[in-house]
A and B are shown apart, each in its own frame.
Chain A
Amino acid sequence: MKVLVAVKRVVDYNVKVRVKTDGSDVDIANVKMSMNPFDEIAVEEAVRLKEAGKASEIVVVSLGVTQCQETIRTALAMGADRGVLVETDATLQPLAVAKLLKAVIDKEQPQLVILGKQAIDDDANQTGQMLAALTGFPQGTFASKVDVAGNELTVTREIDGGLETLQISLPAVITTDLRLNEPRFIKLPNIMAAKKKPIETLTPAALNVDVTPRLTVVKVAEPAARAAGKKVASVAELVEKLRTEAKVL
Chain B
Amino acid sequence: MSAAFDEMKEADGGVRPAYSELSRWLKEVPPDVLDYRRREAELLFRRIGITFAVYGEADAQERLIPFDVIPRIMSGAEWRLLEKGLTQRVKALNLFIKDIYGAREILRAGVVPDDLVFRNPAFRPEMSGQSVPHDIFIHIAGIDIVRVDADTFYVLEDNARTPSGVSYMLENREIMMRLFPELFARHRIAPVENYPDQLLATLKSVAPERVARDPNVVMLTPGVYNSAYYEHSFLADKLGVELVEGRDLFVKDEFVYMRTTQGPRKVDVIYRRIDDDFIDPLTFRPDSALGVAGLMSAYQAGNVTMANAVGTGIADDKAVYSFMPAVVKFYLGEEPLLKNVPTWRCREEEHLAYVLEHLHELVVKEVHGSGGYGMLIGPAASKIAIEQFRLKLKAAPKNFIAQPTLALSTCPTCVEQGVAPRHVDLRPFVLTGSKGTRIVPGGLTRVAMKEGSLVVNSSQGGGTKDTWVLDG
A, B: real partners: no
Q: Which residues of B are at the interface with A, using a C-beta cutoff of 8 A?
A: none
